[in-house]
Amino acid sequence: MGIRIDSGNGAATEVQETNRVRTTGAKKEQRIPRWGIVLFVILAAFVVARTLQRGIETKKSTQPPVRPVLVAKVISRDVPLYLDEIGTCAAYETVQVQAQVMGKILQRHFQDGADVKKGDLLFTIDPAPFQAAFDQAKAQAALDQVTLKRQWDLRSKGVNAPQDYDTAVANAQKSQAAAEAAQVNLDYCSIKSPINGRIGLRDVDIGNLVGPTSPALVTIQGLDPIYTDFTVAETDLALVRKYLGGSNVKVQTWSPDAKIPSRTGDLYFIDNAVQPGSGTVKARAVTPNPDRALWPSEFVRVRFILDMIKAARLVPSQAVQISQSGPFVFVMKPDNTVDLRPVKPGQRQDGDLMVVESGLEPDETVVVTGQLALAPGAKVDPKPYAPNSPANQDGAPKSTM
């Protein structure tokens, strides 16, 4: 198709509408199909979703992981305020048995190292000469009593002099005293234990001649109760004096290997001066020892209890950490995040517990192990702390992953 143009002289020119056709064709080429639009929307949605997913993953990767830790509750109970010392035991009584009359030992009635009671027979000295002396004194006393009676009868009749009666009285009293002295010497021939205790190794055998000037025959030591001797450093003396005389002052004694139960005694003596050179003060306690487990001169562990701390707050000692700012613990919140709490630690107690004087309240939960990986606000995966469990041997919790 074209456009016919008349020039006026009878001629005509036909012009083709190429421009129009081309314009229409161009418009048809620029139109976007519907399926392309749908595809574009799908691709755009995919890109947006992928971008959001990468953002979430990036955010997750920047968050710290949940840390496994072991936790324990703050407990409250009465605990002692104490000083731990090293001491020795000493016999409560020590007796060196000696002969009180001169004579030959005829018999021994004990086994070396045996336990003896007060009044048990230990040695017998030959009693023959002392028996004879006693019999003689007894006979003389009987004669003098007869003479005294005769003089009394004559005195009542008034036929004797007063001097004769007085002499008879004096002789009767003298002979009676001699008989009693002879009886004492005869009794000394039987040497008996003066105390309850444990006998040592004898120093004489049968047949030896012994007397008052001879060395001791044997030594007996009383072991129940027993003395616990220890010392207190002069730097602790002010603290000791603060509680001295209180009802809670006690002394606990253990054997060095702790194989026997501890026993609690009473403070018996504390010296009135500091020992020159050592800077310590001597102290002594009386300790029950019914099983004879403690021995004289044995080294023992001593806990000098000064007072009882009422309702003390206790945590496992591992929970208390040290930083440049001082001691602290990690306290777990209800949402399983932790908070750093400064504390004032006190004495360690039995069972690996430590007193916390300030900074914690009863029933709060503290982190016991795993603190190196924590910071305030960190989230944790708590597990209960069990002392001496395998999970605590390396000081860190075992991962459950």
d(CA 241, CA 36): 97
Across the range 163-191, mean pLDDT stands at 92
* pLDDT band at 198; cut points 50, 70, 90: very high
* pLDDT recorded at residue 153: 83
* pLDDT recorded at residue 34: 72
* Rounded (10°) CA dihedral 289, 291, 297, 303: -50
Across the range 182-200, mean pLDDT stands at 95
DSSP conformation letters of 66-105: PEEEEEEE-EEEEEEEEEEEEEEEEEEEEEEE--SS-EEE
* pLDDT recorded at residue 22: 47
d(CA 367, CA 344): 16
| Token pair 């392309």 in the structure block, residue | 36
* pLDDT recorded at residue 388: 62
Please give the model's pTM, rounded to 2 decimal places. Answer: 0.69
Please, what's the b/e burial string for 15-50 (b: 16 or more CB within 10 A of its CB; e: otherwise)? eeeeeeeeeeeeeeeeeeeeeeeeeeeeeeeeeeee
110 three-class SS: coil
DSSP conformation letters of 185-196: HHHTTEEE-SSS
d(CA 318, CA 323): 14
Q: Does 276 have pLDDT greater than 80?
A: yes
Q: Does 391 have pLDDT greater than 50?
A: no
Radius of gyration of the chain measured on its C-alpha atoms: 53
Q: Which residues contact 366 (CB under 8 A, 6 or more apart)?
A: 71, 72, 73, 74, 315, 316, 319, 329, 330, 331, 332, 360
* pLDDT recorded at residue 139: 93
* pLDDT band at 60; cut points 50, 70, 90: low
Alpha helices in 188-280 (DSSP H): 237-243
Neighbours of 111 (CB within 10 A): 10
* pLDDT recorded at residue 119: 94
Q: Does 2 have pLDDT greater than 90?
A: no
List pLDDT tens digits, range 110-150.
999 999 999 999 999 999 999 999 999 999 999 989 988 88
HSE-up of residue 28 (Cα within 13 Å, Cβ side): 6
